[in-house]
Amino acid sequence: MILYMRLCLFSRVCLNGPLALCVVLSHTVGVRRSWMTAVAEDLDMLSERAGAFSELGRKTVAEWVSVVRDNPRRFRAALRKAKGERAVNSVQAWARTRRMAEVDAEYKCPSCVYTCSTRQQLATHAFTVHGVCRKMRAFTDTDHCPVCMQWFGTRTRVIVHLEEKSPRCRRVVLERFRQLPEDTVAVLDERGAEEARTLGRIGRRRHHADTRATRLAGPLMKEAFEAGLDHKSLLSTRLPKISASG
C-alpha cells in the first residue's frame, strides 16, 4: 500500500510538477534513503514481478518520467492492475521500513566466514573471536557527541551513537580527531564497566539512561561544517531514539 501511494504521488509529480523538478529528483536516485531511491526500487520491483508492467520493461527513472508524461492513463492503469497481483503482494515485495528490512538482514564478519542476523551478534563475535573492541572508545571522553553536539548523558551512549547511529559524525571523528592516550581510555572503560555493573544490578542494559538525548547549545566545529553538517541539517535531523529496552 505504501508502495502504491508512493507511485501515485510519483506519477502526480511527473505530470503536474515542472520538468525541472523531475530532473532534480531523478538526480537523487541512489542517494541512501531518499524518496527517489525508494521510487526507483518500487519501479524495478514492479517491472520484475508485475504482469501489468512486464510489457513496459525495465527502465531508468528518467525513462519512467517520460513514460508517465507521455501516457499517464496507461501508467495509472498498469499501477492499479499491479496492485491486485499476487506476485506483487508477496511478503518480499512489500515496501518495508528500515527496521523490518533489518530483521532478516545478514551481517558478515569482515575477518572470517561468520554470518549472523543482528549487529549485536556480530559485535559479540568480533569481540570474543577476534578481540575487536569498539573503535570509537578511543576517541570518546565526553557525554556528548563532539561533532553534532547531541548530549547523551553517558559516554557509552555517545559510543553507540558514533558506532551505530551516525556515520556522518563517525567520519568527522575519524578524520579530524586524535585518539586519546591508552591509559585514559582504560580508565574511562573501567568507569563505564562499573556503571554497567551498577545498571546490571537493577536490571538495565549498559546503554540505559533516564534522560532523552538533547542538543547542546554552542557553536559547531569548523570540521563539522566541512563534513556537510550545518545548523539547518541539524534541525531537520531527528534525534536518534535510544531507549531503555533498545
Q: How far is the CB of 97 from Zn ion (least distance, A)?
A: 23
Span of 46-54, 168-176, 200-208, 229-237 interacting with Zn ion by CB under 5 A: 168-176
Query: What residues from 193 to 232 belong to the interface with Zn ion (CB under 5 A)?
Result: none
Q: How far apart are CA 43 and CA 145, in angstroms?
A: 39
Nearest residue to 176 (alpha-carbon basis) of 229, 132, 124, 129: 229
* Count, residues in the chain: 246
Q: How far apart are CA 143 and CA 150, in angstroms?
A: 9
Q: How far apart are CA 244 and CA 246, in angstroms?
A: 6
Q: How far is the CB of 41 from Zn ion (least distance, A)?
A: 28
- Between residues 33 and 201, which has the closer beta carbon with respect to Zn ion? 33
| Residue 145 makes contact with Zn ion by CB under 5 A | yes
Site string for Zn ion, 77-116 (x = CB under 5 A): --------------------------------x-xx-x--
Nearest residue to 105 (alpha-carbon basis) of 121, 89, 90: 121
- Between residues 15 and 227, which has the closer beta carbon with respect to Zn ion? 227
Strand residue runs (E) in 29-111: 107-108
Of the residues 67, 169, 172, 224, which one makes contact with Zn ion according to CB under 5 A? 169
Q: Which residues bind Zn ion (CB under 5 A)?
A: 109, 111-112, 114, 145, 147-148, 166, 169
